[in-house]
Structure 1
């Protein structure tokens, strides 16, 4: 994963009202933390952050975070992005400072590619796991993992053990975790049998009995 440049500014506004005013001014509150540095309240320009996120396949991104007033940028990953529940605008972002030669653990999306053979046979593709936890060096982190489902038949599945991650990437999930499968369509309709009315069943013997009685009476 190639680091993307992003400018950040020290943030002095920490109260709720102050943060609200900064958001109104087009600034997104942020925090930079890591085991090598003390947590730093920051803010970034909303337009620049939005542009950066549009360049990536997911919100997991590696950035060169240049903090105003500091001589060197911080190599960091976007650890979490919080969105407003209605507008979906970014309202807060967490940056985790990383070291180039130390592995990091992140959650990345999983994307299926190809048309499953089982779908052509009448099955339905079910994408079970949309995210997986991985570990890799910062610059070897993929934006996402892809799973080729082209050879997947009906009642067949792809597990973590079947996946081949990019070089240097370790998937931190149990090998038997199912990522995708093709399920068969089974008809559930039952044939309805209309019950015969009890009165109709009883009527026939009664008619026969009366006919026999009349026949015997006529014979006398």
Structure 2
């Protein structure tokens, strides 16, 4: 995951009124915390931060350049969204250091072609890993090439990048290739008819 820079301003107004004024000014109230340091309250440019999250997700590494001259390396930890507007109302940013290991969730994507006629069911679309804060993978690829109906793929089938350690249970199922529902229902109907004929 590439590192990006974002500007920030120290925030001196707190409480609901201060947060509303910050948002009306086109900024998002945020707090930087971690490493036993005193939390820093800042305001982030709303549009810029929203675009960064849209592109990089919650594993987007950021250099937060505060207007008082300080810089902090951070990862998004939690977002509070407006349930109606779907805008970001508040951000928690976790301070990290280069070379520090962090625990994050990473998206799993699929490559390859499974057996024709099967329906691919995704049981889990992400895994938890430990990685260097500056080398978090954007995604991990799962090959479903040749996957047959009735088979599944687990976390153990993933190939993780060098330096990335698995936290999720390796036996956790990621995908299953099943018989499409219509075909399964038709097969069940035939079995019922066969059973009825056998009983006559």
CA apart distance, 1:80: 2.0
Any conservation in 1 of the 2:58–2:75 contact (CA below 8 Å)? no
- Check if 1:128 corresponds to 2:123: yes
1:96 alignment counterpart:
94
Tell me the CA shift for residue 49 of structure 1: 0.7
Deviation at 1:111, TM superposition (A): 1.9
For 1:84 and 1:116, locate their aligned partners in 2 and report how far apart those are by CA, in whole Å.
40
For 1:146 and 1:38, locate their aligned partners in 2 and report how far apart those are by CA, in whole Å.
39
Task: Quote the Cα distance in structure 1 between the aligned partners of 2:36 and 2:160.
Answer: 29
Between Structure 1 and Structure 2, whose CA radius of gyration is higher? Answer: 1
Contact residue 142 and residue 157 of structure 2 kept, 8 A: no
Q: Which residue of 1 aligns with 2:69?
A: 70
1:198 paired residue number? none
Local SS of the residue matching 2:89: strand
- Residue 180 in 1 paired to residue 182 in 2? no
- State how many pairs are aligned: 188
* 1:1-220 alignment, distance < 5 Å: 1-56=1-56, 58-71=57-70, 73-117=71-115, 120=116, 122-185=117-180, 186=184, 187-189=187-189, 190-191=192-193
Shift of 1:8: 1.2
Give the match's secondary structure for 2:18.
helix
TM-score after normalising by structure 2: 0.86
More strand by share: 2
Q: What TM-score comes out, normalization by structure 1 length?
A: 0.79
Q: Is the 8 A contact 1:108 1:143 kept in 2?
A: yes
Moved over 3 A (4+): 190-193
Output the CA distance in 1 between the equivalents of 2:24 and 2:106. 31
> Is the Cα contact below 8 Å between 1:79 and 1:95 reproduced in 2?
yes
Gaps of 5+ in 1: 194-220
C-alpha displacement of 1:36: 4.6
Mapped to 1, the partners of 2:61 and 2:142 lie a distance apart of 23
Unmatched 5+ residue regions in structure 2?
Answer: none
